[in-house]
Amino acid sequence: MSEVILKIENVSKQYRLGQVGTGTISHDLNRWWAKIRGKEDPFLKIGETNDRSKKGDSEYVWALQNINFEVDRGEVLGIIGKNGAGKSTLLKILSRVTSPTTGSIKTKGRIASLLEVGTGFHPEMTGRENIYLNGAILGMTKKEITSKIDEIIEFSGCERYIDTPVKRYSSGMMVRLAFAVAAHLDPEILVVDEVLAVGDAEFQKKAIGKMKDISKQSGRTVLFVSHNMAAVESLCTRVISMRNGTVLSSGNPTKIISEYLQDSSFSERKVKFESISDAIGNANIRIMYASIENASATDKDSVIDVTSTIDFRMKIVNLTNKETISIGYDLLTIKGDVVFGSGNKFNCTIGGVTEVSCQIPSNFLNDDIYQIFVYFHTNDMADLYSNTELLTFEVKDIKRESGYLGKINGIIRPQLPWFLNGKKV
């Protein structure tokens, strides 16, 4: 009989947009008065669903609403959903980084969390010193860490730099070391957010193998959040799909992932904003407009066939004091495989709108769902801004839909020339 090690009951989390706490004395007094009378918090009755694509009327938003599920000992639970679905908020609540507005969480045993690269690391301390620091934060004793430190260093692959301050580490080295510490903590529950995407392919394979060992050999539980559907499908025994702060479905990984990818609301080929304050971005870059257009058709928003030429367009506002900016993007399949990357340097008017575009040739992409991961850098490659899910779009094989049942193998399907007896056919 399976043993429930984690139980989430009616968990909800409410935030007030633009402020910390309620933001006003009157709101605080109303909450205090309700509390001393034993009444429900009046602000729990208001608030809107966390749909980031629509402008709301309420200043309160439910990042999570009525989340209920159980996790058995030794289970590897995958949590998937678009950005803003509530995945990271849920993990932060489970890791006690923040508390739920309503609901309860019951656990058996120690929880180790790996939520963000370098969390709990001090940049001036060496890798070895940070192993002890991070281990202590995660609940390990000095004796435990000392007994496992050689194994941790070997697993991280950072042995040559282990006595170097981590401020000189790359983000990949940081996540290697952080995961190595968390994985060797021997927790009853290991919580892992998207951070594995930072590591290289070899480390991702090693990390996924380690998580499988943790669950199968040690009987420990893993909660894994990722946009890499291939990793989720291969690692997890069960998957939960989330949307707008609620659990959409739960069950067999292959079935739930397939439903998630086929969800009609998943595709977002165009984003457009009227004001800079509303636009996607940060203090350096604001994206006023971004779209994937069918350049082969009169209607640019029409279905993209494998034979279509595709235009990726953006209008950005450069808020830095540097005119030359490197703009690039990676095109990924929905399962997280990188199809290709492309970029260039542009002279972007400081404070003004600059339009850039890139064309993907026809007869190149296979029928699949793709995502645009866009990034901006200075001339010396300092990060300005990046967005892992700027746009999502689908390429269809119209011939296959009208009777052709096969699918060309591979991520791409270029129309390559063939020759018969030296002559092109």
Indicate if the pLDDT at residue 48 is higher than 50.
Answer: no
Domains by residue range for the chain, with CATH: 69-262 (3.40.50.300), 270-401 (2.70.50.60)
Side-chain half-sphere of 28: how many Cα atoms within 13 Å? Answer: 7
H or E element in which residue 142 lies: helix 142-156
8 Å CB contact between 273 and 279: yes
pLDDT digits (tens, 9 = 90+) for 134-164: 888 777 788 888 998 999 999 888 888 999 9
Q: Which residue has the higher pLDDT, 82 or 49?
A: 82
The closest alpha carbon to 225, from 340, 151, 336, 331, belongs to 336
Q: Which two tokens stand for residue 358?
A: 């890139």
Side-chain half-sphere of 142: how many Cα atoms within 13 Å? Answer: 1
The residue ranges of DSSP E strands in 57-176, in sequence order, are 60-72, 76-80, 102-107, 111-114
Indicate if the pLDDT at residue 228 is higher than 50.
Answer: yes
What DSSP designation does 361 have?
Answer: P
Phi, psi for residue 295 in degrees, rounded to 5: -75, -15
Q: Which residues pair with 240 in a beta bridge?
A: 79, 250
Q: 308-335 burial, b if ≥16 CB within 10 A, otherwise e?
A: bbbbbbbbbbbbbeeeebbbbbbbbbbb
Indicate if the pLDDT at residue 368 is higher than 70.
Answer: yes
Q: How far apart are CA 60 and CA 49, in angstroms?
A: 9
CA distances to 74, 127, 246, 306, 417 from 406, rounded to whole Å, are 39, 51, 36, 14, 21
Nearest 10 degrees: CA dihedral of 323, 326, 331, 335? -100
pTM across the whole model:
0.61
H or E element in which residue 423 lies: strand 423-424
Indicate if the pLDDT at residue 66 is higher than 70.
Answer: yes
What DSSP designation does 402 have?
Answer: T
Phi, psi for residue 156 in degrees, rounded to 5: -70, -25
Angle between helices 142-156 and 171-183 (to 10 degrees): 130
133-137, 196-200, 258-262, 330-334: which has the minimum mean pLDDT? 196-200
Q: How far apart are CA 329 and CA 392, in angstroms?
A: 13
pLDDT digits (tens, 9 = 90+) for 172-224: 788 888 888 877 877 788 888 766 655 566 677 777 777 777 777 777 888 88
pLDDT digits (tens, 9 = 90+) for 269-319: 899 999 998 899 999 999 999 999 999 988 888 888 889 999 999 999 999
CA dihedral sign of residues 366, 372, 377, 383: negative
Q: Name the residue type at position 101.
A: T
